[in-house]
Structure 1
Amino acid sequence: MNRQEAMRCFKSFPIYGITAEGMSAGRSNLEVVEAMLQAGIRFVQYREKEKSGLARYNECLQLRELTRKYGAAFLIDDFVDLAMAVDADGVHIGQDDLPPRAVRELLGPDKVIGWSTHGPEQLQAANGLAGVIDYIGTGPVYATQTKKTAVPVGLEYVQYARQNSVLPFVAIGGIKEHNLHLVREAGADTVCVVSEITGADDIAAKVRSLAEIMD
């Protein structure tokens, strides 16, 4: 799909999916992502930093095929070369990764770029890159198992993003079913819930429950 279609996927459903095989109750990423897709998620990020390059490549080929089947956008966290190799719909990069303009040069004009931000100064820098990047991440809202050393930015930063970001944003970090309504009230239209989804007994039911709170 093209960049515009991928961003339509971003905006079409309030839950943004991310893989976390170590928190998936022994299930494969393929199983977990298919359950996410069946529940309506249409924007999936592959985030597996501990695997070998070959293992990531082989897994992403399967996930690329699966997301195409469901008409969902497929992004790779950090690894621009992997995204290019499997024809992903884009990448999500952090503050310490390749700079957004360099990533845009590598990917060309028709792929999505998301960029993590952790405070007002980084958000304003992102605003200056509108057109180069497509959306931002805001977080971690709360303390999170997926990035244990990251400092929570709180609901105040979600509110700041709502008022000041010229780009769509996804709130991420420590978001669970019990605090999701607070993140929604702070202004997030899209949220990323990781372990609460990947570790759920019934992933599809959990996604539907979260989506109801967001709606």
Structure 2
Amino acid sequence: MLPCGELERPTAIQERRMNKALVILALGLSVSLTAGAQNIYRTTDAQGNVVFTDNPERGGEEVDLKPLTVVPGRSDERAGAPAMIDGGGNGNGGTASANPGQPFMPYDSFGILSPRQEETLPTGAAGNVQVTLGIQPDLREDHRVRLLVDGQVSQTAMHTDTFMLNNLARGEHVLQAELLDASGAVRHRTSPVTLYVQRASVNLPQNPNNPANN
């Protein structure tokens, strides 16, 4: 028998039970403790049982409960991923270019190679000039190209990379080419090329178009 007022020291089994009870209590009250900022106290009754309470008036040792670490669930990273956009008839499953001035797939380049930008066509050419396009890779069998002069269609769409312009008037002209897909829709337009054309004056005596010679 122990002297009156002295409690028996808990056994190893009781210690394990105490620890287990403390963990369970901490898990059960973690939310309420965080919200209410309450304290937990541990006391031992006359039978050596550990009792937990939130009433400080009952005495006992304050228990330091460490906050629980909450790991958020992982959402599907692909759930918010944008879907691939179909190329719209290009046959290769590529995506149409979203950047203006860039050729749509499957072409890497599409532009006018000649004449060069701000080139001058001399008088001796009589307003005739060959327009050559650079298309890489080669033009597909179901695609067509048409030529524009000063914003107007000069020649109908053809499966070619070369056009011939005849008898251009004297002055400044802007050349462009359009790439059409199998459905006839314009999928791309080259950058404009400015061409200056020199022609003999119609008023020259040797010009057959001089009204005075008629």
Q: Please classify the TM superposition score into its range, dividing by the shorter chain length.
A: under 0.3
TM-score by length of 2: 0.20
TM-score by length of 1: 0.20
Which structure's CA Rg is the greater one? 2
Tell me which protein shows more helix as a share of its residues. Answer: 1
